[in-house]
Structure 1
Amino acid sequence: MPRLAAAVYVQHPATREVLILLPGEKPEPEIAALVTNPKAWEEPPIVVGQEGAADPAESEPGPEQVKKTAPRRARSAAP
């Protein structure tokens, strides 16, 4: 089971209690699934049923998946 590299705050799914997980802890799988930041882990856990969990590079959006936004208009100077 992976260890945390940083302290994180999560909400328990059943009791809604705020949990403080400290570096070095090995949380239960249902609690570990709530920690979504991969930098919080020494090694990110593999979550069963999560697509691309084994290879984080596959989960990044490719050029065809990136949503393009309209360019912003420049503000005009006040007279």
Structure 2
Amino acid sequence: MRKLVAAVYVQDPSTREELILRPGDSPTPDLAALVINPAAWDASPTAAEPSAADEPASTTRLTPQSEMTETGAKKTPQRRPRSTSSS
């Protein structure tokens, strides 16, 4: 099975969740079919590599960009300011 040499973002066909396939991953055939950029794959597949049934593909669920900080950590919700209404 071929391995990726670049990170690729795909949408899982069954759950519609956005996934990131990382360099070195060997995605399952259904996810591999979604990678349309040939430059994302290694140059030469070898027959000695294990099949997809032998090892599961590693995928990571993405956190929406709006919830991320510059360092990649998830933001904590901000507090609302108190209203300053005078009675």
TM-score normalised per structure 2:
0.49
- Quick one: distance in 1 between partners of 2:15 and 2:23? 23
- Alpha carbons 1:3, 1:25 under 8 Å: kept: yes
- Quick one: distance in 1 between partners of 2:28 and 2:44? 14
**Is residue 15 from structure 1 mapped to residue 9 from structure 2 by the alignment?**
no
Bigger radius of gyration, 1 or 2?
2
Q: Deviations over 1:22-74 (max 9, x none)?
A: 000000000000000000000488xxxxxxxxxxxxxxxxxxxxxxxxxxxxx
Query: Could you list the runs of 5+ residues in structure 1 that have no partner in the other structure?
Result: 46-79
Question: 2:30 is matched with which residue?
Answer: 30
Larger RCO, structure (CA 8 Å, separation 6 or more): 2
RMSD of aligned Cα (Å)? 1.7
